[in-house]
Amino acid sequence: MKYFFLIFLYMTSSFANVGKDNDHLYKKVKPFVFQVKTSQSADSSKASYGTGFVVKGREGLLLTNYHVVSTYIQDEDNRYKIFVTDKENVFEAEVLDFSVIYDLALIKIKRKFSKELILKKEKPKRGETIYSMGLPKDLNISLVKGNYNGVIKSGIYERILMSTPVNSGMSGGPTVDKDGKVIGVNVSILLNSQNISFSVPIQRGRELIEKFKSRKEPLKRENYSEYIKEQLGTIEKNLLSSLEKNPGKSNTVGEWEFFPPDETLKCWSKNDYSEKRTFKYSRQSCFLKGAAHIDRRIYAGSYELMFLSLEGLNRNRYQFASIVDSYLNGKDYFKNVYTKFSSKKELTKFSCNEGIWTNKHDIPFKYVYCLNGFVKYEDVYSLYFKAASLTDKRKSIIVKFKVDGFTKDGILKFVTDQMDSIKRTEAM
């Protein structure tokens, strides 16, 4: 009994120290964390909001997420402004630089701070305790505790994986270690998960600050669209390059080979028979777990791939052709290539076409595609592409590609490279 009592005292004392440490950390970080909102005036209702934190005190510089201030950046009619709220004081902010690739924005207010949060150069150790601060659900500035689980990459995109209960409104706030040094910028959560959230590595924030300092002047508002288009070009170049650098090992579904997916893609596969066992299939679906946020309903710089092998078992050539046609033209997770689900203000109407494509291995495909453009960004498009091989009466490979935010040249290279990689395995 005495032993249990001593343990209880020790645990009570430890919890008290933890609470004391957290209170100290909160008081240390909070003076540099503020609400950031976009609205028509300082007193009007907000169109969007999030959090920001001081990174250069004497210059009044704050880091936040691009998506927190994207309403302002995308506004061509000058209806919105950005405001930083400090208790009763509200400061109008100026955008100095931003990155749609890493979802970051550097803003400035006319207020000087004697200090700022320190940006840590070293990465935490896996499992290390970290904290996120921000304004959850437009309530009070809050500090939540979690764990660092390393950096995950998906193409050009990278995020810190955290076990932290971050909520909307905390976007743009600092992710800090136990000493209050910034290791990242809160950015998103994983939907339908238990406390899985993400933060942008602070190295990307440091790069944005250095980029602005080397330029020595804020971005001009009239050049925002061109600046975003340049960044989309960087994403496209990086993604196409990563596809070309595949390890050279072929990938397969059924008896078909094709380019292996980039190692950072998330992929699922399934092998099974149809309900009545009239055919068997093998499928692999991959997608890039990352995209560039442009506007509330617009994302770019991403793609999806699906390869499906079909083999008829007890159907004649016409029945099998009907099965292939139903997979090629039926509704699926691509929402059907002819479906229009975008706003006229953001994306143009679909332009669709179909035909026969023979790849470099002399395999003919029937294809259908639809293309639509980004209204504000010339020569930037989204593509929905489907194709089915025509060489065999009992076997076929169906491919489906979705590409968002590429140029026509980039889309053509993407599709050509993928289609030309398809061939029969030696076993065939």
| Interval 184-218: pLDDT, tens | 999 987 765 667 889 999 999 999 999 999 998 99
Of 64-73, 155-164, 208-217, 240-249, least confident by mean pLDDT is 240-249
- Region 53-78: mean pLDDT is 93
- Region 43-71: mean pLDDT is 91
Q: Provide the pLDDT confidence category of residue 54 given band limits of 50, 70 and 90.
A: very high
Highest mean pLDDT: which of 163-177, 286-300, 340-354, 408-422?
A: 408-422
Predicted confidence (pLDDT) per residue in 176-188, tens digit: 999 999 999 999 8
Give the H/E segment covering residue 283: strand 279-287
User: What distance in Å separates the CA atoms of residue 94 and residue 105, rounded to the nearest whole number?
Assistant: 10
Among all chains, which residue has been given the structure tokens 């050539």?
A: 317
pLDDT of the residue at 249 = 63
The CATH architecture assigned to 12-219 reads Beta Barrel (2.40)
User: What distance in Å separates the CA atoms of residue 167 and residue 307, rounded to the nearest whole number?
Assistant: 36
Dihedral angle sign, alpha carbons of residues 229, 233, 238, 239: positive
- Region 371-382: mean pLDDT is 91
Domain ranges for the chain: 12-219, 228-424
- Region 238-258: mean pLDDT is 82
- Average pLDDT for the chain: 85
As given in the structure block, the two tokens for residue 219 are 């971005």
As given in the structure block, the two tokens for residue 177 are 């270690």
Kindly tell me if the per-residue pLDDT of 375 is higher than 80: yes
- Region 158-174: mean pLDDT is 90
DSSP state of 84: E
